[in-house]
Amino acid sequence: MDPEDLKKLVKEKYGQIALQSKVQLETGGCCTASGCCSGVDYSIFSENYDTLEGYNPDADMGLGCGIPTEFARIKEGDTVLDLGSGAGNDCFVAHALVGHRGRVIGLDMTESMIKKARENAAGLGYENVEFLLGDIENMPLADNTADVIVSNCVLNLVPDKEKTFSEILRVLKPGAHLSVSDVVLKGQLPEKLQQAAELYAGCISGAVRLDEYLKLMEGAGLVNIKLQKVKAITIPDEVFLQYIDKKELAEFKKSEAGIHSITVYAEKPG
């Protein structure tokens, strides 16, 4: 698909998601002009935020695949940038870590998500949390803005990942770092299983192989790249059995191929 068309589809889908509740999403309630997401499980990757300081349930759409702030080494007074900030979930957790001397910026390309995040921030009375409308591939931010960048299950959806990591490097301060959670593939999923996974879990379609993902980061100039967390994602057998038979499924399970959520750390050279 043409990258701009892909962006339009992602924007449309997540624009409609912003109008749903978390409960509606968990029951497959997302509908867009191109069809309904019946049967799509957006919560398959999500983690439990309930015990985290700063957590606001109204901002949690259940769309993440990790808790990047948990590993991001955020300090009081830092400027934190969240890429694909949605309704503000990770931004509000980051706010609890940076305190009133710090700054949190959420960047998202979907107008309805920005509107929802700003309403949530206003309700919480946060004056040092802001939400900007913009494209991750071309961020409306100055060079050397952020002490820390976080992102949660978003970069896999961006068509030009090479440009994205280049932009990340640009807006990080020298010596600053990122901690992002994302979806990656290990090995090669058979085409039928890839199709099944894309229909079942909303974040699969743009995922690349783990080794390719790390090479993209390295190629952009990021250093000290480290996997902080890797978690295998299990798609129910009954989903796959709609596309392949039991023998093919057994052979797939013996292979090392699969879908994983990762949280990965990297730094901009100082």
CB–CB of 249/240 below 8 Å? yes
Tell me the residue ranges of DSSP E strands in the chain. Answer: 31-32, 35-36, 79-83, 103-108, 129-133, 146-152, 172-186, 223-233, 258-267
- What is residue 239's predicted lDDT score, i.e. its pLDDT? 85
Tokens for 182?
A: 């994302």
pLDDT at residue 16 in the model: 79
Quote the CA–CA distance of 85 and 73 in Å, as a whole number. Answer: 18
Q: What angle do CA 178, 184, 189 make, to 5 degrees?
A: 170
Please state, as a whole number, how many other Cβ atoms lie within 10 Å of the Cβ of residue 38.
11
Task: Specify the pLDDT at position 231.
Answer: 94
Query: Over the stretch 187-225, which tens digit does the pLDDT of each residue have?
Result: 888 888 887 777 776 667 788 999 999 999 999 999 999
d(CA 45, CA 232): 9
Per-residue tokens: 168: 């990340």
Can you tell me whether residue 74 is helix, strand or coil?
Answer: coil
Q: What is the largest CA-CA distance in the chain?
A: 59
| pLDDT per residue rounded down to tens, the chain (270 residues) | 677 777 777 778 777 787 765 555 554 444 333 344 445 777 788 899 999 999 999 999 888 999 999 999 999 999 999 999 999 999 999 999 999 999 999 999 999 999 999 999 999 999 999 999 999 999 999 999 999 999 999 998 898 999 999 999 999 999 999 999 999 999 888 888 887 777 776 667 788 999 999 999 999 999 999 999 999 988 888 888 888 899 988 988 888 889 999 999 999 999
> Backbone phi, then psi, for 5, in 5-degree steps?
-65, -40
The radius of gyration of the chain's CA atoms, rounded to the nearest angstrom, is: 18
What pLDDT, in 10s, does the model give residues 94-112? 999 999 999 999 999 999 9
| Dihedral sign of CA atoms 204, 154, 6, 86 in order | positive
Q: Which CATH class is domain 3-267?
A: alpha beta
Cβ atoms of 34 and 9 closer than 8 Å? yes
In the chain, where the domains are located: 3-267
Query: What pLDDT sits at residue 1?
Result: 62
- Decide: 78 and 102 in contact? Cβ < 8 Å: yes
Query: pTM here?
Result: 0.88
